[in-house]
Amino acid sequence: MNNVRMSVRQKSIVLIGFMGVGKTTIGELVAKKLYRSFIDVDQEIEKDFGMTIPEIFEQHGEAFFRDYEKKKTCALAEQKLKIVSIGGGAFLQPEIRESCLRNCIVFYLDVSWDEWKKRLNILIDSRPVLQSRNIEEIEELFYKRQDAYSINHSKLTVNQRSAEEVADFIVDSLKHTWDMYEPMND
């Protein structure tokens, strides 16, 4: 899998990780700190259909959603200079994974199962994937997805860190990477 020949400073940043880890909140902060535009792929899909994600699942089914998610995410991953948050299931699709890894810098936001469990109540109403499963099945899904998430350019564990702290970490590590690969000439 070849990286696209593009300046590393121009590559978009993609945030991946399980539902509710904070991809949107952290992505918005990173975008602000780097003066870049933020794109939440799920919000873009909702705009396209004029429906919420649960409504799309209900009316069209998960397979339809996944197909649309694939086209949308791959197209958005080809844009430069963006901060992009993708759906928690998106990176499971090989085409999405390959497109993000080839075109962008991919940050995996990890969280422990114990920490994530505390967030379940606030997530369940807006996440159809959780509604169809009991807690043991959600735990199984949580661990199963880690194999796909483990293919990334950089990983950091969120747990009890604030969104601000995580965003600062991402910005610092990006600046370090940019300087290392493409030092600015004075």
* Among 11, 38, 39, 42, contact with ligand S3P (rule: CB under 6 A): 42
> Rule CB under 6 A: is residue 39 a binding residue for ligand S3P?
no
> Rule CB under 6 A: is residue 22 a binding residue for ligand S3P?
no
Nearer to ligand S3P, 34 or 141 (CB): 141
Q: What is the DSSP string of the chain?
A: -PPPSS-TTTS-EEEE-STTSSHHHHHHHHHHHHT-EEEEHHHHHHHHHTS-HHHHHHHH-HHHHHHHHHHHHHHHHTSSSEEEE--TTGGGSHHHHHHHHHHSEEEEEE--HHHHHTTHHHHGGG-HHHHTS-HHHHHHHHHHTHHHHTSSSEEEE-TT--HHHHHHHHHHHHHHHHHHHSPPP-
> Rule CB under 6 A: is residue 26 a binding residue for ligand S3P?
no
Nearer to ligand S3P, 52 or 173 (CB): 52
> Rule CB under 6 A: is residue 110 a binding residue for ligand S3P?
no
**Residues 118-177, interacting with ligand S3P (CB under 6 A):** 127-129
Nearer to ligand S3P, 25 or 154 (CB): 25
Query: Binding marks (x or -) toward ligand S3P, 54..93, rule CB under 6 A?
Result: ---------------------------------xxx----
Residues 173 and 179: their CA atoms lie apart, in Å, by 10
The response to whether 66 counts as a known ligand-binding position is yes
Question: How far apart, in Å, do the first and last CA atoms of the chain sit?
Answer: 34
The response to whether 88 counts as a known ligand-binding position is yes
Residues near ligand S3P (CB under 6 A) are 19, 23, 42, 53, 87-89, 127-129
Task: Please enumerate, by residue number, every residue annotated as part of a binding site for ATP.
Answer: 20-25, 127, 161
